Amino acid sequence: MKKYFGTDGIRGTVGEYPITADFMLKLGWATGKVFAEKGKGKVLIGKDTRISGYMFEAALEAGLSSAGIDINMLGPMPTPAIAYLTRTFGAQAGIVISASHNPYQDNGIKFFSADGAKLDDEIESSIEKTLELDFATVQSSAIGKVVRINDAAGRYIEFCKSTYKSAHKLKGLKIVVDCANGATYHIAPNVFQELGAKVIAISNKPDGLNINEKCGSTHPQNLVAEVVAQQADLGIAFDGDGDRVVMVDHTGAVVDGDELLYIIASSKFSPASAWRGVVGTQMSNLGLELALRDKGIDIVRAKVGDRYVMAELQSKGWIYGGESSGHIICLDMTTTGDGIVAVLQVLAAMQNQGKSLAEIKRGMTKFPQVMINVKMPKRELLAHSSAIAAALKDAESRLGSRGRVLLRPSGTEPLVRVMVEGEDAALVAILANQLADVVRQQVG
């Protein structure tokens, strides 16, 4: 068990250890020492738009340079952009200062390796061990140099455009883009506009405090209203760091990550494809599983979290995976989940088939799904309760083969998530509430 690193870097509330300026200084130094041992090379630093990013950017810069590491500063950039630029600049690593879809009061640190993937556990463990050592600055002649990269946004925009594989550009499409007041604010509208679309950008004026605030992929209500009001062809909503996305069709219906994954995989698959399936998660809708299998595409469910989706993709040698939240991985295009790249694959499928978003998603029918969060101070009670086991078995029996039940302890909060899905919405709601009541009685 690592002390600081979780499944997606280090994250928490600003001002509460370890999300403090002094810790970030030491983290930059420890990271620099670990990479300095691997040879002279630079590290990239990018961030989203939350106000604390300035503070942590400066602290990491000081720590890295004191360990003898050269630094390229990227400024506000989407997380997947930093993965891409780490590779293209030949850097040893990339650092992202972001708390993704969390509010501005939170922040965190993510790392990418030289090949644009998440850091190996071994390197994370080495950084944690180095954090226990006393801080010491290299000789003045060896202090790392800092360079700001002024064309980072343009480089990433061109990369994104290169992943759009269609003879038909986006001319004639009217698109509303919700940037969540986050890192895509100066990137995403330009990508779609330069490909020919008429773009209406909303939530694209970050002030350091409004990132993800009632906007973006976790709050698509504003996007729905704007798409309908503007009579747009579709809408696109990113999260604060741009690695998640959901869409809205012209009727105002939200198209989530499961549906986007279905559209991408089904449009790319053929009997001659080297890959035979996609990776979803425990939370992926049963409708996705059934729709893919109707197309001859297998699906494997990983634990919730892009790290686990990626691990399963690599194990299987497959290309496409994702989560209901809109974190979509297209390994034929890039090395990590990328909201803009994922949307471009959907738009290419629409243009190639001459279909609207509402039409192209019709091959998948989402099953009614209810999820209830139950406070659970002691998660071990979940596995040892015979009453919960009996209630779970009863719910599964009543749903049969066309339904699912899942009890999943949260990885970040003292909660258990009770999820039930099936064809009968009324039965799903009844069973979810009954099971949640049993869980409350047992773990309260």
385 in catalytic set? no
> Do 319 and 285 share a structural domain?
yes
CA nearest to 23, candidates 132, 150, 103: 132
Q: Is residue 353 part of a domain?
A: no
Does the pLDDT value for residue 160 go beyond 90? yes
> Do 208 and 223 share a structural domain?
yes
Q: How confident is the model at residue 411 (pLDDT cuts 50, 70, 90)?
A: low
> Do 52 and 40 share a structural domain?
yes
Residue 18: is the preceding peptide bond cis (ω within 30°)? yes
Q: How confident is the model at residue 410 (pLDDT cuts 50, 70, 90)?
A: confident
Instruction: State pLDDT tens for residues 90-137.
Output: 999 999 999 999 999 999 999 999 999 999 899 999 999 999 999 999
Q: Is residue 170 part of a domain?
A: yes
Does the pLDDT value for residue 270 go beyond 70? yes
> Do 165 and 84 share a structural domain?
no
As a whole number, mean pLDDT of residues 281-296 equals: 95
**Cα–Cα distance measured from residue 251 to residue 231, given in angstroms and rounded to the nearest whole number:** 9
> Do 176 and 103 share a structural domain?
no
Give the domain-ending residue among 300, 319, 339: 339
> Do 326 and 266 share a structural domain?
yes
Instruction: State pLDDT tens for residues 133-159.
Output: 999 999 999 999 999 999 999 999 999
- In the chain, what is the straight-line distance between the N-terminal and C-terminal CA atoms, in Å? 27
pTM of the model: 0.94
Does the pLDDT value for residue 337 go beyond 80? yes
Domain encompassing residue 236: 156-255
CATH number at residue 214: 3.40.120.10
143-171 CB burial, b ≥16 within 10 A, e <16: bbebeebeebbebbbebbeebbebeeebe
Q: Is residue 54 part of a domain?
A: yes
Asked if residues 39 and 76 have their Cβ atoms less than 8 Å apart, the reply is no
3-state SS, residue 205: coil
Give the domain-ending residue among 150, 180, 196: 150
As a whole number, mean pLDDT of residues 53-61 equals: 98
CA nearest to 257, candidates 347, 324, 342: 324
> Do 305 and 249 share a structural domain?
no
In total, how many domains does the chain have? 4
Give the domain-ending residue among 118, 150, 182: 150
As a whole number, mean pLDDT of residues 338-357 equals: 98
As a whole number, mean pLDDT of residues 34-50 equals: 93
* CA 95 to mean position of chain CA atoms: 16
Q: Is residue 358 part of a domain?
A: no
- pLDDT above 90 covers what percent of the chain? 91
Q: How confident is the model at residue 414 (pLDDT cuts 50, 70, 90)?
A: confident
Instruction: State pLDDT tens for residues 369-407.
Output: 999 999 887 666 677 789 999 999 999 999 998 899 999
Amino acid at 306: D
122, containing H or E segment: helix 121-131
**Cα–Cα distance measured from residue 203 to residue 182, given in angstroms and rounded to the nearest whole number:** 8
> Do 111 and 21 share a structural domain?
yes
> Do 163 and 250 share a structural domain?
yes
Does the pLDDT value for residue 59 go beyond 80? yes
Q: Is residue 439 part of a domain?
A: yes
pLDDT computed for residue 379 by the predictor: 64
> Do 138 and 69 share a structural domain?
yes
Q: How confident is the model at residue 412 (pLDDT cuts 50, 70, 90)?
A: low
CA nearest to 101, candidates 215, 20, 13, 194: 215
**Cα–Cα distance measured from residue 111 to residue 270, given in angstroms and rounded to the nearest whole number:** 35
User: Given 52, 98, 100, 284, which residue is catalytic?
Assistant: 100
Q: Is residue 348 part of a domain?
A: no
CATH number at residue 389: 3.30.310.50
Asked if residues 87 and 116 have their Cβ atoms less than 8 Å apart, the reply is yes
Between 78-82, 296-300, 430-434, 437-441, the lowest mean confidence (pLDDT) is in: 437-441
* CA 264 to mean position of chain CA atoms: 17
Q: What is the mean pLDDT of the chain?
A: 95
- List C-alpha distances in Å: 141 to 62, 65, 68, 264, 307: 15, 11, 9, 51, 39
> Do 169 and 135 share a structural domain?
no
**Cα–Cα distance measured from residue 367 to residue 44, given in angstroms and rounded to the nearest whole number:** 43
